[in-house]
Structure 1
């Protein structure tokens, strides 16, 4: 993700401090987030299963005592002890290891996907928090501006150039801005909780964001399609795991070899002397397990073919969905850039109009209805501008999620 982030941050004119701040939050989230930790534990379990696959079946040991001792020429058989070990056909254990390793690779991609989604969530919450905070600051700035206008109105009332109604209107407008600011402060606390929960830390901790963000209208990103993406790569790994499963299935259809040893304890025949009297019996054994009825292996092969076809269909569907999300994000990003540019122009015109009104005050012809109208327009343009910036960076975060080829 580093290369893409450096490019985006550099071209969009974001300060270095902002990049470090957001990235530091992302690093904390990846370290503390319980969902990431859960997938890492699952991956560790999968790696242990690779070691588990490199093992033989349990050895069989048995012991028995003859209730009715059979007599033989060399004496009565007292007890029998047996040990047996079955061995899979050549290459079966390697096939099991390869299959277990392929499943572990799928679990590893789940970690990469979860971290990538977490980076997207942290980034979008960060920009949302920034927007709410900036709106609160803008409301405070406009409230101070209205207080200045109120002082002008009071002065104008004293000299007979304005009425008390104008003062009351300005005070009402200040109360409206106060209400909006207090509501936004509650929303800010809510978003702070959301952000801190993503980092799995205390909800009351402060969140540091940059003072300002802007959009470089000269920058054009030429992203048109999704490259290597872990969500799509996961389907490739699943496909490969099924291939390994089929290799294992073919190996398991081969015979199994067994080696064993039987030991029979023989008692001496009393009052008799001859060669091998009471000699114990040792009987090495070799066995072969042949899967004559192999319908289950054939069925598994058919199931594996169907599963591969299913995965190909799922991958195609997921790619179409991700490409739709990418196209939507690009369009929304470009729309936010246009909106930002228009709001800048409108805000400039509104401030020019404000200057004209202030100059008119010097001649005693100020209209406080126009003052309120211009103030409302300025506030509207400033809020729209903040929303455009927030949406722009949120869409950029979505685009980075889809096109970044270097997940951590």
Structure 2
């Protein structure tokens, strides 16, 4: 009964897992795209073939438990005498009987325990597949969103370069700009157009990656996300590290495997004890050739008892050693895995801290300074104290810093998804709309700030 209750609880948990990735974010409405990502996580949990296969393997392992606990089948025996045995009560022609092997006390439960712990290991592995799937969906989603920001930046840059080209062409006609400035802008414009074409072409592979994870049919191009959010978790480094060492699903699976090996070792030791077989046997007897015989034609009945003789002690000792060595190897593997997980968590936590620091510097210091540099370059260019190269360099720097800001946001989001996998659960966090840096109106602002040659006369 215990395993069936466990089965119901497990499948209740499996149903919750479908929504587990969304629960941690449900209370925050600071990011408009949150519901889209939540829907993708739910869809992937329901439809991804790899996740379904992992839980199917768990189902198959769970079905081994009642098989391990079952009694051996009764044995029916039947024999015919080639020559009837003449007895006083009549000739005996055949014998028949039924017997039941009774395993030694605890063997059936130990076999069931081994099967249960093996199923528990596969459940942990299936949950790990679920977290890995969520990580891949989030990573694909955020990379897709980053592509959108890269395209947006490239198109803004192209719009600015088109205006620069028209501006330089106008100034070149009145000899206030050089031909080198004109060709330099054209080269930069061609590079921007090529970059846009490359990014546009890259959209399909990213969409296909996300579509495959969601289990959707081929041919569908998913809409491009609006952007990458700014994330913040309520857990500190100690809480995350503790979750990694205590709840990591790989460690959980190894613990279950070690417990299965321990139970197998106890079971192997019990194999030194014989199993008992009990039965009932009868002999079919015909009527005697002479009348008046006591018990004539009656079938004799015998109650039988038997045991197996465990002569091969060496094989049984080898089975005990095998189970013990398996348990020891699994625990050593766990210890090695813990060390690797701690190092991996430390690297990811450093990346999260470093990403937060870089985001703060970009948003509060570096990007504003780059914007001031661009404004100063525009003023100097209009005054004839700077070349078009200086202006292009300042403009390109601001565009690249804006793109770097979104790259750091994307890397930060992926690192937190990686930490989810290590911690064995979704780390609670909130999503906030990321503050803008360069802004969608940058190209228009530049066109307003720069004066044409006619206006400067």
Task: Compute the TM-score of the two structures, normalised by the length of structure 2.
Answer: 0.80
Q: For residues 104-153 of structure 1, what are the alpha-carbon distances to aligned partners after superposition, in whole Å with 9 as ceiling and x for unaligned?
A: 11111111111111112222222222222211111001101111222222
- Alignment-derived partner of residue 418 in structure 2: 398
- Whether the aligned pair in 1 keeps the contact of 2:24 and 2:426 (CA below 8 Å) is no
Q: Alpha-carbon deviation of 1:190?
A: 1.4
Distance 1:87 1:404, change over 3 A: closer
Write the distance in 2 (CA, Å) between the matches of 1:142 and 1:110. Answer: 47
Matched, 1:306 2:321: no
- Alignment-derived partner of residue 247 in structure 1: 266
- Whether the aligned pair in 2 keeps the contact of 1:50 and 1:100 (CA below 8 Å) is yes
- Whether the aligned pair in 1 keeps the contact of 2:128 and 2:424 (CA below 8 Å) is no
> Which residue of 248, 254, 278 corresponds with 1:229?
248
Quick check: 329-338 or 143-152, which moved more?
A: 329-338
- Alignment-derived partner of residue 45 in structure 2: 30
Q: Alpha-carbon deviation of 1:360?
A: 5.2
Matched, 1:259 2:278: yes
Write the distance in 2 (CA, Å) between the matches of 1:276 and 1:366. Answer: 130
For the residue of structure 2 that corresponds to 1:67, the secondary structure is: strand
For the residue of structure 1 that corresponds to 2:257, the secondary structure is: helix
Write the distance in 1 (CA, Å) between the matches of 2:23 and 2:416. Answer: 11
> Which residue of 69, 79, 83 corresponds with 1:68?
83
Unpaired segments ≥5 residues, structure 2: 1-19, 428-457
For the residue of structure 2 that corresponds to 1:75, the secondary structure is: coil
Write the distance in 2 (CA, Å) between the matches of 1:76 and 1:25. Answer: 80
- Alignment-derived partner of residue 55 in structure 1: 70
- Whether the aligned pair in 2 keeps the contact of 1:192 and 1:204 (CA below 8 Å) is no
Q: CA RMSD in A?
A: 2.8
For the residue of structure 2 that corresponds to 1:233, the secondary structure is: helix
Task: Compute the TM-score of the two structures, normalised by the length of structure 1.
Answer: 0.88
- Whether the aligned pair in 2 keeps the contact of 1:128 and 1:390 (CA below 8 Å) is yes
Matched, 1:136 2:151: yes
- Alignment-derived partner of residue 293 in structure 2: 274
Quick check: 74-83 or 171-180, which moved more?
A: 74-83
Quick check: 22-31 or 246-255, which moved more?
A: 246-255
Write the distance in 2 (CA, Å) between the matches of 1:265 and 1:199. Answer: 69
Quick check: 175-184 or 288-297, which moved more?
A: 288-297
- Alignment-derived partner of residue 436 in structure 2: none
- Whether the aligned pair in 2 keeps the contact of 1:106 and 1:234 (CA below 8 Å) is yes
Matched, 1:387 2:407: yes
Distance 1:142 1:100, change over 3 A: same
- Whether the aligned pair in 2 keeps the contact of 1:4 and 1:404 (CA below 8 Å) is no
Q: Alpha-carbon deviation of 1:380?
A: 2.2
1:78-227 pair list within 5 angstroms: 78-208=93-223, 210-213=225-228, 215=230, 222-224=236-238, 225=241, 226=244, 227=246
Aligned residues between the structures: 402
Write the distance in 2 (CA, Å) between the matches of 1:279 and 1:309. Answer: 61
Distance 1:23 1:4, change over 3 A: closer
Quick check: 357-366 or 307-316, which moved more?
A: 357-366
Q: Alpha-carbon deviation of 1:210?
A: 4.3
Write the distance in 2 (CA, Å) between the matches of 1:406 and 1:148. Answer: 47
Quick check: 127-136 or 220-229, which moved more?
A: 220-229
- Whether the aligned pair in 2 keeps the contact of 1:18 and 1:209 (CA below 8 Å) is no
Write the distance in 1 (CA, Å) between the matches of 2:224 and 2:255. Answer: 39
Q: Alpha-carbon deviation of 1:361?
A: 6.2
- Whether the aligned pair in 2 keeps the contact of 1:113 and 1:231 (CA below 8 Å) is yes
> Which residue of 254, 273, 284 corresponds with 2:303?
284
Matched, 1:369 2:383: no
Unpaired segments ≥5 residues, structure 1: none
For the residue of structure 2 that corresponds to 1:261, the secondary structure is: strand
- Whether the aligned pair in 1 keeps the contact of 2:21 and 2:42 (CA below 8 Å) is no
Distance 1:365 1:91, change over 3 A: closer
